[in-house]
Structure 1
């Protein structure tokens, strides 16, 4: 089990919360877990704990801290789902990527400095979109996005991506229509650094750790692909 800690923003002028899970022994690399619109809730913390059990330092930054620190929402509770949508509407995604970049710096510093430390990220929903943005805007070593929303609108940034990216796309995603999925494939299938996997008939949130959205079979398949991806790229 991990715990909350604080790290500095890129400017160094403020601090924000990060859930940190430490492996037994020396970390072989670091993985940043990027939240959904529901904050650093128990599902995101469980993702971090899993990566720590696999030998990685795992960090989940509280990206909503400027709006409301410590958000933990349950997507299966309608009032909390609506609160999450409201927070999403107010959230500055560009600033969020800068906070992820600050987390990359903190991770590299902790596991040995920029000269040798590898860092990956994996994000879900909003976090899947932010993982793509992080791949384009930072020097992160590997990025994974699950059911990222609006990636079709970010295709203009694809040429900036220099390190491997893995995207998991459920074909019945209520937040990513078929035309958006088609645009993603058309724009990204030939990119030498990007791999897309489709999950037929599945909806948004299928790989959540808890709750009604989870599909065990598909989550196991996608998570296995992610684990293999990081084992190869972050080795």
Structure 2
């Protein structure tokens, strides 16, 4: 079942919407799907539906609601790509993590105190890392997370499993940043890094020009196994 859920902010003084996809039977756990800079668009909603088909409650909070609710952009349209980049600059990431924390709270209640994971893409990949470091999420996955070199100082706070998928030819995460990620995280007992040589940022998008099928399928299979192990 597909619908929208109202999530209360941490202070309870406001609310925002989250696309919600329910499995046909009792969910085995929940997964929060964290948007790219393009909002909770069709691709993100499809990812929720795919997780629901595997038996998870899937929830995608509208993290741009404080800027403008309901933003949906197509990265294959140059003007909308530029709008997404502009939104990235306007977005308060610390506030976004608090909204994700509120989503974890409400989603955990929806699965009767069960486990909750998070998976994010691009900006969402960065937020997945921050969620692992700053909340009690049970497991997190980040795809082509941006700017993690500036967040490596928070790695000591990661208490639950985190997996990161790294695009080898990422135009937003150059080789020197990827090297710093490995240097800072390879020895972390809770963190696993996967490299995908020769593919660019956005390779695992649901649809569109950026998708690279073979790499996307491999990354998604690894993510499915990761959640099967850590959300059981």
Give the deviation of 1:100 after TM superposition: 0.4
1:177 to 2:174 alignment: yes
**What residue number does 1:221 align with?**
218
Task: Please tell me the root mean square deviation across aligned C-alpha atoms, in Å.
Answer: 0.6
Give the deviation of 1:6 after TM superposition: 1.2
Equivalent residue of 1:97, what SS?
A: helix
**What residue number does 2:37 align with?**
37
Deviates more, 1:104-113 or 1:211-220: 104-113
1:233 to 2:209 alignment: no
1:22 to 2:22 alignment: yes
> How many Å separate the matches in 1 of 2:110 and 2:165?
29
**What residue number does 2:85 align with?**
85
Structure 2: gaps (5+ residues):
none
> How many Å separate the matches in 1 of 2:209 and 2:137?
32
Give the deviation of 1:4 after TM superposition: 2.0
> How many Å separate the matches in 1 of 2:152 and 2:119?
19
Residue in structure 2 matching 1:204, options 195, 201, 211: 201
| TM-score (norm. length: structure 1) | 0.98
Residue in structure 1 matching 2:155, options 140, 158, 172: 158
> How many Å separate the matches in 1 of 2:94 and 2:175?
26
> How many Å separate the matches in 2 of 1:84 and 1:194?
29
Give the deviation of 1:5 after TM superposition: 2.4
Give the deviation of 1:7 after TM superposition: 1.1
1:50 to 2:57 alignment: no
Equivalent residue of 2:112, what SS?
A: coil
> Deviation string for 1:88-142 (max 9, x for gaps)?
11000000000000000011111113xxx10000000000000000000000000
Equivalent residue of 1:217, what SS?
A: helix
**What residue number does 1:62 align with?**
62
- 4+ long deviations beyond 3 Å: none
Equivalent residue of 1:198, what SS?
A: strand
1:102 to 2:102 alignment: yes
Equivalent residue of 1:59, what SS?
A: strand
1:149 to 2:113 alignment: no
Equivalent residue of 1:157, what SS?
A: helix
**What residue number does 1:190 align with?**
187
Matched pairs, number: 232
> How many Å separate the matches in 1 of 2:2 and 2:50?
10
> Deviation string for 1:163-182 (max 9, x for gaps)?
00000001100000111000
> How many Å separate the matches in 2 of 1:90 and 1:220?
32
> How many Å separate the matches in 2 of 1:2 and 1:165?
28
